[in-house]
Structure 1
């Protein structure tokens, strides 16, 4: 009950007492006065609704003080105009201060009264109604408080799920990995992966300076002088005539901030960009603006991309995943042409020269005269040079393509697994993936194993979960060649390997075994072989015979479950590079331990897993094969590996070297979402180009026919056989 109600009750009780003691008052008048007082002071139903009542009381007291001063004890009224003696003014001021202090004390007491209303004692009869009202209001407030607590707990549960329960989720994942991993067949959206801290733990050590092979060369050959490196930088990446070099030098004087002393400064519109991992070569034509800009994806674009990955999931679940990705700080980007018109013209001519009317000479002329930094053309011509045996020119074109992307990157972007992820559904993102893959091959041929290993990490970090080019099938080779055994063991215990069954590849499993052996951790190597056999029993027997040179008769009578179609490709891919990594001692250990595991399997002490059936709606599988494994097989250019790809994949899908097995839309609603080469081509320009080519062909045919007729006229006996 509020202080206002208490004061009213106190006033009414005091008036009743004085009325009974006053002379000449009978009981009847007293009762009438008491009833009149009760009717004049009705119960205020909002008496307990807050501190606003105290403010009303203060206003009411202020009004009474303005009209006059009332003596509540004796009922005498002092007019407001009555003068107060000067000798009593100080006492009045002191009394007013005490009154204000008393008011503050009453307010504090009021709050305590609201917290403990049951401690009140009523001062008059008939106050039971106020008690009941107090109890009703208290019950109502308690219900509201309980509702607020419930709502606050439910709203905070999402936050707890995202942050506070990460340790519980990791423990749950660990226990789950002990029982068996889930498969991407049933979870194409990677919803079981929750250890996002693993991304920074695995990819946080990537250093931009290690992406330049010069850094590795300095470590290998410490006596290299700065002049020697400058001579290397001044070399051209492709064969260029002296006349062309003079023209390029003239352009350099016209384009500001091109190159610099370290060959790493480049203009990009109104700004100056410092290259992160490439250097400008002397034969590259100076331009004032780059070909691409990098743009961060909006929330709607991220949601559409996730919806394409999970066509059978509810949109609410997809939005929950998107909020999760945003909360953990993962940023998604895509490369876009900075000049749409020029890019459209270049793509039209490229499409005509590669797809519709293949013409290598026209394609080479495209990058040498019109569009020197058109990435699809650069990568395609680089492959043409490889087949012609011109590896030097091929390597220079791949470096130039990589330079185009380096020029477009922002200064704050790093490849740590979270700061820059590139969805594979965008065409020029896929070109960046292809350029990196080609560059890794070039570095390995040059012997720059450490730089190649670092670039493998970069390629994987651009989309660690999807892994569109199958880094898990070949990164172990470069890590082991660079003797990064500790990094391999870190991967062996990482959620990026153990969350899904498909992530634990055959190459990775045997790479973990070799890493433990190199570090003299024999027991853990034996456990890793047993773990690999449980998932890849048939593949490990093939490695036993073909790789470890074991006796094939030891496998007689061995009944193993059929593995997935990926196994043949994985075994072939691993056998191609196995001899480079495994020495004689390691091979003997591997063969002996496989025998031990086979004996345990025959005795029933080991259970192996069966293959999974793949649904057609899953975008990461194609004909029962992992699509990233197929891309790796095509890009590797290894004939034995490509021969293992089923013929129906070559016939049912258009496999182009400039865009190997791109993602496909699920329906009309995702046709515009998945970018392809046709997304940047104008049909009108394509038809005009076709018409021009047909006219040129007709003209050539007419000239040839005229020349033939003239020749026959001059040599009438040329076609007669004697």
Structure 2
């Protein structure tokens, strides 16, 4: 029976009764003495509204006042809100028994519904918050382990809140200026004049006629709040850009190309963690409690905040998505993609994909990097105020972006591409800061494999002590595969640069035991040693991991003395040491990630973040080591490689996630209107190429 019907019965009872029921009848129930009843009469059905409305819903609260003159019982602070609601419902059911005029059947139905709801909330599907005093117990058993965990669980339970807290300083950029390459150039070459900086920032991303450029400048003068003297002002907000500056060929507009929201409620956030559940028959209540506890501890004690980018629900954005799918997926055509930038200059997937086309076809790095920076500008202007504040204070260690959302993945991809451009400009300190931030967005999952290349930028920036702290922190010691070849061998090189050869020798021994195949390849390729033999056949994962370091070995080990020291040390280890750890059990290490990666051949056993890094790096030697059937997957898209897929279909968090769907994970096709896609295909087939860019949205 609904609360509206119960209120109607209450009004009928009041009309037939001269006086309301005595207050003492309710207070005689000792089991509910935790509530303090008011002196005045009350509405016995007031608490049944909790089934349908929230306590803070003003609209429904007015409706209740119009139905009855009684006021609900005051709330107490001695019980948690969830438990208080249960007591309210049980007490209201008890009050119903005191009401004359209700039939026994109606009472039985109400009590049965309440009992059914209470039983459901106590089942494995319930979403009850754990008590604060119980939260410490959830991670205590995982904090005990002092050795790297061999098996990788999808929830990364061993990377506890305590271990995260120990790692926060390594994920912080300290100052937002560290994300500005101009700031690093000034530190390297002295203070640059504003004219020089302005001249560099005015460079156009693509070839543009002087007439069109003058039109853009005229529109900029008419668009209030666009640019400013520092080129960091955008309309609609008083906040300044933090990552980019506005260039002359950026079309002035007051319309934001995307949205960004803060996700504060812990319950919906749990969906971001448990969507990878593969065993639907296993009870998930304990897992749910663990995730709730961890999120509450992160947000309360550490200040970690979760955000999410979303797509704008507009006709132009939907048309741009349809054109992009047609030009990239259905019928790849770079020319159509280039034309789309004229009509949709801030469509992020188009900007990032066009940049890769320019690199592959013309090796035009300048234009490609400019387009990537323009894509970064589209995110920069849409930052949430809380996100903007944390970033402005340099607190990147407190910012999280769930990788399961498409627009979040576009931001990951944009940062990855931008880091590569910073390396090409030799601004390695800025690149290291962006690596820290990219890893901080999801430090446990590390979806793009930052651990495979952060050592390169840190070593080139001569941040040797940072590398040593990193390899000794929980970021590299919690799980066995978190210690990548780059971190293992770069820590040896860092100690050599610090002239600590004894410690370097011990660190080399650890790297040798962890990566014996890579140790052999280093001797074979770079020293041509014939005295060392390695008979074991490497797995696919070992081969890919080894190549991620071999391609950068020459750029890191430039000192001939250091290289000779390494070769002599490895020869000695091969002759005297027995391999005690390392790749001894690859099949069990990544078994938990097989469903996420979706590989049909279990011999592959390559973690998804390593596959994404191999694809996005563009290094042919690394990609050649990947199994060929990976490239035939239907979700191996350059603009979104290996998107996460929800094994637990039906997890919906409407109201928290915007965009085109309610599932936890999404892809670009979820936002494409089939009708607009049909029109795009028809236009391509019937109209001449000159008319493709003139399509009306």
Separation in structure 2 between the aligned mates of residue 159 and residue 675 of structure 1, nearest angstrom: 31
Matching of residues 265-284 of structure 1 within 5 Å:
265-268=233-236, 271-284=237-250
2:513 maps to: 534
Matched, 1:196 2:170: no
1:679 maps to: 670
Deviations 1:621-642 (A, max 9, x none): 7441111111111111111221
Separation in structure 1 between the aligned mates of residue 356 and residue 462 of structure 2, nearest angstrom: 31
Deviations 1:379-428 (A, max 9, x none): 11111111223222212111100001111113213264543211111111
Please say which of residues 632-641 and 202-211 is displaced more in the overlay.
Answer: 202-211
Separation in structure 1 between the aligned mates of residue 678 and residue 464 of structure 2, nearest angstrom: 56
Assess, with a 3 A threshold, how the Cα gap between structure 1 residues 233 and 693 changes in structure 2: closer, same or farther.
closer
Deviations 1:134-185 (A, max 9, x none): xxxxxxxxxxxxxxxxxxxx9665244479x7xx975x33xx21xx53321x
Deviations 1:667-710 (A, max 9, x none): 6436932111101101122223333333337999xxxxxxxxxx
Separation in structure 1 between the aligned mates of residue 690 and residue 618 of structure 2, nearest angstrom: 39
How far residue 550 of structure 1 moved from its aligned partner, in angstroms, is: 4.6
Matching of residues 160-171 of structure 1 within 5 Å:
160-161=136-137
2:354 to 375, 378, 381: 381
Q: What stretches of structure 2 of length at least 5 have no aligned partner?
A: 1-129, 652-661, 692-697
Matched, 1:292 2:258: yes
In structure 1, the residue corresponding to 2:670 is in which secondary structure? helix
1:570 maps to: 545
2:493 to 507, 514, 518: 514
Assess, with a 3 A threshold, how the Cα gap between structure 1 residues 400 and 523 changes in structure 2: closer, same or farther.
same
How far residue 213 of structure 1 moved from its aligned partner, in angstroms, is: 0.9
Work out whether residues 379 and 397 of structure 1, in 8 Å CA contact, stay in contact via their aligned partners in 2. yes
Assess, with a 3 A threshold, how the Cα gap between structure 1 residues 156 and 665 changes in structure 2: closer, same or farther.
closer
In structure 1, the residue corresponding to 2:308 is in which secondary structure? strand
Separation in structure 2 between the aligned mates of residue 388 and residue 199 of structure 1, nearest angstrom: 42
1:57 maps to: none
Work out whether residues 376 and 415 of structure 2, in 8 Å CA contact, stay in contact via their aligned partners in 1. yes
Assess, with a 3 A threshold, how the Cα gap between structure 1 residues 668 and 328 changes in structure 2: closer, same or farther.
closer
1:635 maps to: 616
How far residue 345 of structure 1 moved from its aligned partner, in angstroms, is: 1.5
Matched, 1:652 2:633: yes
Matched, 1:345 2:319: yes
How far residue 573 of structure 1 moved from its aligned partner, in angstroms, is: 1.9
2:529 to 530, 536, 551: 551
Work out whether residues 506 and 536 of structure 1, in 8 Å CA contact, stay in contact via their aligned partners in 2. yes
Separation in structure 2 between the aligned mates of residue 301 and residue 349 of structure 1, nearest angstrom: 33
Work out whether residues 332 and 420 of structure 1, in 8 Å CA contact, stay in contact via their aligned partners in 2. yes
* Count of aligned pairs: 528
1:717 maps to: none
Matching of residues 109-124 of structure 1 within 5 Å:
none
Separation in structure 1 between the aligned mates of residue 690 and residue 191 of structure 2, nearest angstrom: 62
How far residue 300 of structure 1 moved from its aligned partner, in angstroms, is: 4.0
Separation in structure 2 between the aligned mates of residue 307 and residue 684 of structure 1, nearest angstrom: 34
Separation in structure 1 between the aligned mates of residue 472 and residue 169 of structure 2, nearest angstrom: 12
Separation in structure 1 between the aligned mates of residue 595 and residue 528 of structure 2, nearest angstrom: 38
2:584 to 583, 591, 610: 610
Separation in structure 1 between the aligned mates of residue 568 and residue 479 of structure 2, nearest angstrom: 29
1:302 to 238, 253, 269: 269
Work out whether residues 350 and 363 of structure 1, in 8 Å CA contact, stay in contact via their aligned partners in 2. yes
Deviations 1:438-486 (A, max 9, x none): 1111111112121112111111111111111101111101100000001
How far residue 590 of structure 1 moved from its aligned partner, in angstroms, is: 1.2
1:600 to 576, 584, 587: 576
How far residue 340 of structure 1 moved from its aligned partner, in angstroms, is: 3.8
Assess, with a 3 A threshold, how the Cα gap between structure 1 residues 546 and 351 changes in structure 2: closer, same or farther.
same
Matched, 1:412 2:401: no
Separation in structure 2 between the aligned mates of residue 481 and residue 608 of structure 1, nearest angstrom: 27
Separation in structure 2 between the aligned mates of residue 607 and residue 502 of structure 1, nearest angstrom: 12
Deviations 1:177-233 (A, max 9, x none): 1xx53321xx11100111120342212244211111110111111152233223223
Matching of residues 168-317 of structure 1 within 5 Å:
172-173=144-145, 176-177=146-147, 180-184=148-152, 187-194=153-160, 195-268=163-236, 271-297=237-263, 298-312=265-279, 314-317=284-287
Separation in structure 2 between the aligned mates of residue 320 and residue 565 of structure 1, nearest angstrom: 34
TM-score, normalised relative to structure 1: 0.69
Separation in structure 1 between the aligned mates of residue 172 and residue 649 of structure 2, nearest angstrom: 39
Work out whether residues 479 and 488 of structure 1, in 8 Å CA contact, stay in contact via their aligned partners in 2. yes
Please say which of residues 315-324 and 570-579 is displaced more in the overlay.
Answer: 315-324
How far residue 252 of structure 1 moved from its aligned partner, in angstroms, is: 0.9
Separation in structure 2 between the aligned mates of residue 155 and residue 260 of structure 1, nearest angstrom: 51
Work out whether residues 285 and 372 of structure 1, in 8 Å CA contact, stay in contact via their aligned partners in 2. yes
Assess, with a 3 A threshold, how the Cα gap between structure 1 residues 223 and 389 changes in structure 2: closer, same or farther.
same
Structure number with higher helix proportion: 1
TM-score, normalised relative to structure 2: 0.72
How far residue 266 of structure 1 moved from its aligned partner, in angstroms, is: 0.9
How far residue 563 of structure 1 moved from its aligned partner, in angstroms, is: 4.8
Separation in structure 1 between the aligned mates of residue 689 and residue 230 of structure 2, nearest angstrom: 52
1:336 maps to: 310
In structure 2, the residue corresponding to 1:673 is in which secondary structure? coil
Please say which of residues 493-502 and 214-223 is displaced more in the overlay.
Answer: 214-223
Assess, with a 3 A threshold, how the Cα gap between structure 1 residues 156 and 366 changes in structure 2: closer, same or farther.
closer
1:355 maps to: 329
Matched, 1:422 2:401: yes
Please say which of residues 251-260 and 300-309 is displaced more in the overlay.
Answer: 300-309
Separation in structure 2 between the aligned mates of residue 190 and residue 693 of structure 1, nearest angstrom: 47
Separation in structure 1 between the aligned mates of residue 367 and residue 561 of structure 2, nearest angstrom: 41
2:60 maps to: none
How far residue 341 of structure 1 moved from its aligned partner, in angstroms, is: 3.2
Work out whether residues 349 and 689 of structure 1, in 8 Å CA contact, stay in contact via their aligned partners in 2. yes
Separation in structure 2 between the aligned mates of residue 628 and residue 169 of structure 1, nearest angstrom: 24
In structure 2, the residue corresponding to 1:266 is in which secondary structure? coil
Separation in structure 2 between the aligned mates of residue 608 and residue 347 of structure 1, nearest angstrom: 45
Deviations 1:494-552 (A, max 9, x none): 001001011011111001111111112222212211212222112211122213x1513
Separation in structure 2 between the aligned mates of residue 695 and residue 500 of structure 1, nearest angstrom: 56
Deviations 1:72-130 (A, max 9, x none): xxxxxxxxxxxxxxxxxxxxxxxxxxxxxxxxxxxxxxxxxxxxxxxxxxxxxxxxxxx
Work out whether residues 267 and 273 of structure 1, in 8 Å CA contact, stay in contact via their aligned partners in 2. no
Matching of residues 85-124 of structure 1 within 5 Å:
none
2:555 to 559, 580, 584: 580
How far residue 282 of structure 1 moved from its aligned partner, in angstroms, is: 0.8
Work out whether residues 154 and 276 of structure 2, in 8 Å CA contact, stay in contact via their aligned partners in 1. yes
Q: What stretches of structure 1 of length at least 5 have no aligned partner?
A: 1-153, 701-722
Separation in structure 2 between the aligned mates of residue 667 and residue 310 of structure 1, nearest angstrom: 6
In structure 1, the residue corresponding to 2:244 is in which secondary structure? coil
Separation in structure 2 between the aligned mates of residue 621 and residue 538 of structure 1, nearest angstrom: 26
1:147 maps to: none
CA RMSD of aligned residues (A): 2.5
Work out whether residues 291 and 404 of structure 1, in 8 Å CA contact, stay in contact via their aligned partners in 2. yes
Separation in structure 2 between the aligned mates of residue 486 and residue 617 of structure 1, nearest angstrom: 35
